[in-house]
Amino acid sequence: MFCSGSKACRQDWPESADSVTIKNIPGRVRAQKVLSAVRALGFTEDDLVYLHLPVKQGRTFFNLGYCFIGFCSVALARQFWEKSSNFAFPGRTSLKVPHVEAATRSVSRSRSSSMSGEVLWFRREPTA
């Protein structure tokens, strides 16, 4: 489950936060599996700007346990955060409990950005 509803992980949503960080992702989860989890909560690619899943460099695939998702608006990011409690990655047996929060730093929305790992782009700029 993504932790957002319990008192221990509750936070006020920042006014300008149009991106979220998902922490505690099982190591072998790929970007497409994260995207499937986002879809399972009722969101589509039209709601997203990007999904960035940093990965460990090497011969085998392991993500670093977190990802960033940029939404088209602050309202969509907050809705995702609100809907994300009690959610698990479908088909995963990991005991890790994913946790969603507002991204604390701005990520460049330019396709020429230096993001490494798995990056899925859905649109260049957020809509107003």
Edge-first strand order for the sheet with 118-121 is 99-102, 19-23, 66-71, 48-53, 118-121
Instruction: Match domain 16-105 to its CATH number in 3.40.50.850, 3.30.70.330, 3.30.360.10, 3.40.50.920.
Output: 3.30.70.330
Q: Give me the pLDDT at residue 124, please.
A: 57
Quick check: 53 and 62 in contact, CB under 8 A?
Answer: no
User: Is the model's pTM score more than 0.75?
Assistant: yes
Tokens of residue 108, six digits? 């460049």
Q: Radius of gyration (Cα) for the chain, nearest Å?
A: 14
pLDDT of residue 7: 41
Q: How confident is the model at residue 103, as a pLDDT?
A: 92
Regions of the chain short of the pLDDT cut 50: 1, 4-8, 10, 112, 126, 128
User: pLDDT tens digits for 18-46?
Assistant: 999 999 999 999 999 999 999 999 999 99
Question: Strand, helix or coil at 31?
Answer: helix
